[in-house]
Amino acid sequence: MPDVPINNPGGPQYVMPPGVPPMWAPPPADGGWFAEETEPEINVMDYVHLLWGQKWIIAAVVLVAILVGGAWAFTRTKLYRASTRIALEQAPQIIKNQIYSGVSWWELQHYAQDQVQVLETRRLAERVARKLGLDNPNSNSAAYQLLGNLTVKPVKDTNVLELSLINTDPKKAAEWLNLYVQEYIAMNIEDNLDRTRKVYEVIQSKLAPLRKQLEASEQKLLQFKERKDALFVGDQDKNVITEQVNTLTSAYAQAKTSRIRLETKIAALKRLRAENLSGASLPEIMNDPTIQQLRQQQNQLEIELAEKLQTYKSGHPIIKDLRSRIRGLNNKISEQIRRIVRSLQTDYQIKKARELALYSNLQNLRQQAIELSKQTLEYDKIQHEYEQNKRFYEEMLQRSKETDISSTAGLNNVRVIDPAVAPTAPYRPNPRRTLLLSVVLGLFLGVGLVLGLDYIDQTIRTPEDVERYLGSEPLVAVPAYTGETSSVAREVYHSLRTALMVAARNEGSQVILVTSATPQEGKTTTAFNLAKTLAVSGSKVLILDADLRKPSLHHLINTKNVRGLTSVVLGEREILDVAHTIADVPNLDIVTTGPLPPNPPELFSKKSFVRMLERAREKYDWIIMDSPPVASVTDSVIAAQASDLVLVVVRYGFSKRKVINDAMRQLTRTGARIAGVVLNYVDLERDHYYYAGYYSYYRYGYGTDATEGGDARKKKKKPRVTT
């Protein structure tokens, strides 16, 4: 795979080897390096490490809370609380048929809530205060004090009330509470008796009017029964009239039906001609015996006439006689028919007269029934009024007797379940509970204080803080140590060397700029120790003191700063002429600043500075430049353009995150490639829990190292420097 070029605006174009991720990349399109910082994710273990590291602060806060709580608990006046329980039944109801207290659960709960208010009334408290001899005629302070020390609360889902009273004397607390309950019961009995007497007085005032009203309704009922126009005495008379009406209605219907039938027959006969009556086919005519006999005789004479006409002529006397006899029979039949018709007409008149009579009687009975109904309603109304007055009078009379009996006896619906006894231990203060709450409160305050200080602290303390807040890779975390021979520090710088070798994009010489955001973060020490580590590993290393503001590298090697970097850049000397060496580290050359120029940024902008670095690349594998802080001056930003890698040193808990971020943005805007961050002067004592695993592999098996100078406990020696 070919090398991939990296766009580095404003600086040299680097080529990234295959498979190696870039240590610097252009800013993203959405906001670039000036985009708003994303909120870091919360890691619970970070807070655990933080709290463990600040455990002594938390312990101190807890101790102070315990001392304050203990002082408060043991200096306060001891208060004792006595308790008792009473059971409530519903107040007796005199209005009912008997004294009855069994009510529904909802009613009982409502009554219990009412009694809580009664127990907390000033009237009852004043009564108890008078019994105890605490009352003051000019003040109600004793009653209000009792109420202030009294607590009444209902027991859930029961008809029981729990009362408690607080006092400095345990015996008085129990005695006063029992007396309070006794006075409540006495007042309850008095109220019930007073209510009963009032009910009795009301009932007695109502009895006399009720008695007069009952007598009036009874007299009215008797007068109604004695009226002359009364149609009945009882319900049996009403039933007789009803039966008569039903009978007459049936007879009237039958008479009307018969009359209509006869009227129909008579009308049919009237429609027949007189000469055709003999041929009428009415049942009354055809079934009449006389007519049947006459027709039989007529038929015989007609047969005989027909036989004689065969022998004699029509003028013969025999023929004439037969015809005369036949005419006589016809006349008799007609007469008989007329007689039957007259009989039907007579029967019709009789039927009609009977119908009219039945109708008249039926109307009279109906009128009587209507009048009977009116009188029945009036009678029922009077009788109902009489019975109602009688029943109410009897009930009120019974109530009067019951109330009279109840007024002579006390009605109490309060029962003491558990009398109050003198408490054996104070209610308040409770030292055990106070100390426990003090511990809990101290823990909360301690944890809150640590978290608050951590929130206020905007510095960098862990490698995770470097990744989270700076967006850069934490290369190593250098602990605070005494002496360069510390095994932990030595191995840390070995790790830093390895990280830089991985970060290098090619196998040629590398120029590494070591800087920091603010002064006093240990960049010079870091650059010097890194250079020694690289040199000990066999690489040819040059370290340049590029801090032209406040140089300090010459102090580390205990030499004079007469000639140095400025002499080489200005062309006065070569690097080898001003380089210093250390006898113990032959591969390390050291160049101090030399005379300080009036305008250091101009020195780093010269082409001679770049040419000096190019010549140094030919002789050295690594070139380390110790530069001034970025936030103070622009020297490091200008010098970073000529370097391959930038190593930012961040002191543990020292500089603010915003300052470090601003410094790194300045470097990246110029095209500098930041290799990573060295977290310096890590306080292992403060964050021992967090860094214990981080450095465990250093402390195991690395107590001595023959190649690095022996035991870490040996005192640091001054390096022997030659020029």
Asked if 514 and 626 touch (Cβ cutoff 8 Å), the reply is yes
> Domain residues for 658?
460-705
Q: CA-CA-CA-CA torsion for 117, 119, 122, 127, nearest 10 degrees?
A: 160
Classify residue 323: in a domain, yes or no: no
Query: Is residue 627 situated within a structural domain?
Result: yes
Residues in the chain: 723
On whether both 544 and 447 belong to a single domain, the answer is no
φ and ψ at 564, to 5 degrees? -175, -140
Query: 480 with 445, same domain?
Result: no
| 438 and 515 housed in the same domain | no
- What are the φ and ψ backbone dihedral angles of 119, each rounded to 5 degrees? -65, -20
Q: 233 lies in a domain?
A: no
Alpha-carbon span 508 to 254, nearest angstrom: 146
Dump pLDDT digits (tens) for 444-464.
998 998 888 877 878 888 888
The Cα–Cα gap between 328 and 322 comes to 10
Are both 601 and 694 inside the same structural domain? yes
Tell me whether residue 34 is in a domain: no
Contact 94, 399 (CB under 8 A): yes
CA-CA distances (angstroms) from residue 221 to 18, 211, 238, 378, 484?
Answer: 126, 16, 18, 10, 131
Number of domains into which the chain is organized: 2
Note whether 436 and 575 are same-domain residues.
no
pLDDT the model gives residue 4? 36
d(CA 553, CA 524): 7
Q: Are residues 626 and 490 in the same domain?
A: yes
CB 548 within 8 A of CB 566: yes
Q: Which of 437, 455, 473 is the last residue of a domain?
A: 455
Strands 622-626 and 510-516: parallel
Backbone angles phi, psi at 475, to 5 degrees: -75, -55
Going by C-alpha positions, the residue among 477, 259, 438, 213 that lies closest to residue 358 is: 259
To the nearest 10 degrees (0 to 180), the angle between helices 55-75 and 431-456 is 150
User: Are both 441 and 521 inside the same structural domain?
Assistant: no
Asked whether residue 385 is domain-assigned, the answer is: no
Based on the domain organization, do 449 and 583 belong to the same domain? no
User: 511 CB contacts (<8 Å, ≥6 apart)?
Assistant: 613, 616, 617, 623, 625, 642, 643, 644, 645
Judge if 438 and 569 occupy the same domain. Answer: no
504 and 446 belong to one structural domain: no
CATH number of domain containing 533:
3.40.50.300
Are 598 and 557 found together in one domain? yes
Same structural domain, 563 and 638: yes
Give the phi and the psi of residue 708 in degrees, each rounded to 5: -110, 0
Q: Give the ranges where 504-545 is alpha helix by DSSP (H).
A: 523-536
The alpha carbon of residue 269 and the mean position of all alpha carbons in its chain are separated, in whole angstroms, by 102
Q: For residue 423, give both structure tokens.
A: 């408490």
Residue 116 covered by a domain: no
Amino acid type, 637? V
* Pairing mode, strands 80-88 and 160-167: antiparallel
Question: Rg of the chain over CA atoms, in angstroms?
Answer: 67
The answer as to whether 224 is a domain residue is no
Tell me what pLDDT residue 272 has: 59
* 575 CA to centre of own chain: 78
pLDDT of 440 reads 92
- The model's pLDDT over 269-317, given as tens digits with 9 standing for 90+, comes to 666 544 455 445 667 677 778 878 888 888 888 888 888 888 888 888 8
- Neighbour order of strands in the sheet with 541-545: 474-479, 674-682, 645-651, 510-516, 622-626, 541-545, 585-591, 580-582, 721-722
Question: Is 71 part of any domain?
Answer: yes
Listed as ranges, residues in the chain with pLDDT below 50 are 1-38, 94-101, 233, 273-275, 278-279, 410, 484-485, 697-718, 720, 722-723
Contact assessment for residue 231 and residue 371, using Cβ atoms and an 8 Å cutoff: yes
